[in-house]
Amino acid sequence: MSSSKTVDLATHPLTLWQGPLGLPDFTRIGDNDFGPVFDAALESHQAEIDAIAGSSEAPTIDNTLAALELAGEPLDRVSSIFWCRAGAHTNDDIQALERDISPKMSRHFSAISMNEKLFARIDDLYQRRDSLNLDPETLRVLEKTWKGFVRSGAKLDAEGKKRLAAINEELSSLGTKFGQNVLADERDWALFLDEADVAGLPDFLKSAMAEAAEMRGQKGRYAVTLSRSIYEPFSTFSERRDLRETVFRAFTMRGQNGGASDNTDVVRDMLKLRAEKAKLLGYESFAALKLDDTMAKTPKAVHDLLDPVWQKALEKAANDQKELERLATEAGSNDKFAAWDWRFYQEKLRAEKFAFDEAELKPYLQLERVIDACFDVATNLFGVTFEEKRGIAAWHPDARVFMVKNVDGSERGLFLADYFARPSKRSGAWMSALKSGYKLGPGAKPVIYNIMNFAKPPAGEAALLSVDEAKTLFHEFGHALHGMLTDVTWPSVSGTSVSRDFVELPSQLYEHWLTVPAVLEKHALHVKTGKPMPKDLLDKMLAARTFGAGFATVEFTASALIDMAYHARPDAPAEPLRFEAETLEKLDMPDTIAMRHRTPHFGHVFAGDGYSAGYYSYMWSEVLDADAFSAFEETGDPFNPELAERLRKNIYAAGGSKDPEELYTAFRGKMPSPEAMMVKRGLV
């Protein structure tokens, strides 16, 4: 740790944020800064922990629980910038650092959660909690903190603690390796095509492919990459079946190509360690451990939700496939219908049934207009406004900064957004925070960011989105609002710090406002003419909302069921990919549909611990979001002020300050049944 001696945490730009608007000054941060600052920040945090644990004063909420929550600010700051860079704009140096820092952080936090003196102080408060006269939020934070220590091994013997710390450290390293392997496969694969190969592709896709080729040094050609924003439309519109097959195989084999970036052994080792960790902590499976702190509580409850949906989705997909095979035959195809045919013929079926295709919608879904729509909905529902602040440096020139203000004009926080795909960014879309909002101690205003991977258009052209991409933007912005509207005292229950199967409610619910006719009429304006989407096209789009539900539900639910199958067993499969194949066979998975995320690139579950035994939670939250939006529909006003205020107070602002069921019931008056979700998906 000698490098820490040269770092002054009080003045370093990674820990003293003196850039515009109180952001970090990214112009003064170099890749080589992170290592020494991390070492110094870890040392500083450890000193704070030692002071709290070693205090001679009797434990109080202030000197123990609050001190613990507020400790480690320099570490929080350098971490938030580093993990943002690692996901959104990485390079070889950052990846090497990630491999070094992940196990260090794991060791550090394992030591804290197994610190006997510190746990004794928390335990003392916990045992006296009923006599401390605590407000409900503080009581909840105390209970969650105590449980967190126990679930992190505080009650294990010395040998058990040592083994658990080693497991956590190894899992952390493996998760980093998994994510870097997938990124390598995505970055290193591209299919370069010439004009003759792209005949019939819509202009928006050709533009994106031309830009992707130029970015990879092949100006004048076209590149299919493994970014969803290019892969999916190419699979949908390319007349070339041979190319669709090539791209499909590359996409589904990410992380399973042999060589240095293959994740087969990584997954095997992670599953084995997770099963051992669960056993060590007294749980019958890793799923039981992970679900202990969720709304679902048990693997059985998860299956009670997923299994009926799976059966309905299989029926729907089987009926749809017959229609698609009919179209293929009519088009003169003698080939056996395959997975790389599905999107292509599904688009033809959409055109036949609803007399429009995705390419017709794209010109009306300009990225800038969809961003405006996101902001507009937030203003109408919650009174917050957004103002772009140009010329402020962030982690990449594409990242943009917005000031967020309350209805009275006071500052609420900052929102940053980075919308375009590039080789230095991992795939997918996500929300995170450079800083959470809370009121404890000096308090802090939230600094929240969204990362997307839309295809970047050539200079001077507008970026156009598919309906799915526009929904993704609304979805991630819903998470961002959950972070920005937070109104709690304690950092550990701020914003999205809620149970995993509740965290998707604010994001999935927000998606509903994209297709509110008034929102589309105002913001879905043609890129060339500026005219609103014609009513007949809007009607067709809304009528087609549940089109393709069989395919979409099968590909998603298969991933959720595989995740649960891996983690609900007491041991780990010796050959996970064989287990994946056998489980899908038992489930009657159609060979014409691939899982949305196959095991070797299932980042939600293996690039860290986030959604392990938790991928089901998107659907769990969907039960809530379908019911929550129907509350607005029942009033006939999608912006009903009284409901919007209840929504803000109990869902978006409340964080994890109360039990999720209590929060949802305060908003809606009751808990929902899965029926509304099935109807919304078009499965019943």
Residue 368 is a catalytic residue: no
Longest dimension (CA), the chain: 83
- Number of CB atoms found within 10 A of residue 11's CB: 9
Measured between its terminal Cα atoms, the distance across the chain in Å is: 61
Report the distance separating Cα 220 and Cα 217, nearest Å: 9
Dihedral of CA 584/262/168/68: which sign? Answer: negative
3 state SS for 443-494 = CECCEEEEEEEECCCCCCCCCECCHHHHHHHHHHHHHHHHHHCCCCCCHHHC
Q: Do 313 and 683 meet the contact criterion of CB atoms below 8 Å apart?
A: yes
- Tokens representing residue 668 in the block: 């809606």
Q: What are phi and psi of 216, to 5 degrees?
A: -105, 20
* DSSP bridge partners of 400: 417
Rounded-to-integer distance, Cα 420 and Cα 207, Å = 14
Among 476, 504, 511, 622, the active-site one is 476
- Could you tell me the CA-to-CA distances from 144 to 9, 48, 137 in Å, in that order? 30, 21, 10
Six-digit token pair at 617?
A: 């939670």
8 Å CB contact between 362 and 204: yes
Phi-psi region of 115 (alpha: psi -120 to 50; beta: other; left: phi over 0): beta
Closest by CA to 575, choosing from 246, 272, 193, is 272
CA 265 to chain centre: 25
Cα separation, 200 vs 341, in Å, equals 16
CA dist., res. 92 & res. 90, Å (int): 7
H helix or E strand, kind and range, residue 402: strand 400-405
Other Cβ atoms within 10 Å of 677 Cβ, number: 23
**Secondary structure of 70-116 in the HEC alphabet?**
HCCHHHHHHHHHHHHHHHHCCCHHHHHHHHHHHHHHHHHHHHHHCCH
- Check if the beta carbon of residue 82 is closer than 8 Å to that of residue 434: no
- Residue 524: which of 415, 643, 630, 370 has the closest Cα? 370
Q: Which of 538, 621, 679 is nearest to 295 (CA)?
A: 621
d(CA 595, CA 173): 26
> Distance between CA atoms of 31 and 97, rounded to whole angstroms?
9
Distance (Å) of CA 398 to CA 146, 204, 219, 416: 42, 20, 21, 10
- Sign for the CA dihedral angle at 648, 652, 657, 660 comes to positive
User: Listing from the earlier edge strand, what are the strands of the sheet with 447-454?
Assistant: 385-388, 400-405, 411-420, 447-454, 430-435
C-beta neighbour count of 67 within 10 angstroms:
18
| Positions marked active-site | 476
